[in-house]
Amino acid sequence: MKKSLTEQLRELEESHIQFEVRASREKLDSILADDFFEIGSSGRMFGKKECLESGVVLMEMTLHNYQIQPLAEGVVLATYFITDKTRKRNTLRSSIWKHIDGRWQLYFHQGTITDLKLSDI
């Protein structure tokens, strides 16, 4: 049975927060669009090159309340809640996924630290 677009993107989003993907330059490179950029929870901006060269923080995270909203043909906004067990904090997240060269790639990402708890959402 074919997966829904929400299921496909959630799987990609979940893979993006897994240790083995975050630790692999090759796996990150395949998920991130060439013009990817991020506004981190620190408020700093990062591009794909910086993510690949310096790596991304390895932490144990769980994704909750994943929702998507199509923005245009082949462009989708995803919003969700993360519980970060490593840093003992929660974040509200948003990602923009683009369908490029026949596959979904992460184009933009932002994380905002929140006082909300999982029971609040």
Domain parsing of the chain, residue ranges: 5-120
Q: Do 71 and 79 meet the contact criterion of CB atoms below 8 Å apart? A: no
Instruction: Give pTM, 2 decimals.
Output: 0.89
CA–CA gap between residue 38 and residue 48 (Å, rounded)? 8
Each residue's pLDDT tens digit, 8-57: 999 999 887 776 776 777 888 899 999 999 998 888 899 988 877 776 66
DSSP 10-74: HHHHHHHTSHHHHT-HHHHHHHEEEEEEEE-TTS-EEEHHHHHHH------EEEEEEEEEEEETT
Average per-residue pLDDT for the chain? 89
The sign of the dihedral angle between the CA atoms of 16, 41, 43, 70 is positive
The pLDDT of residue 7 is 96
For 5-120, CATH number?
A: 3.10.450.50
The pLDDT of residue 56 is 61
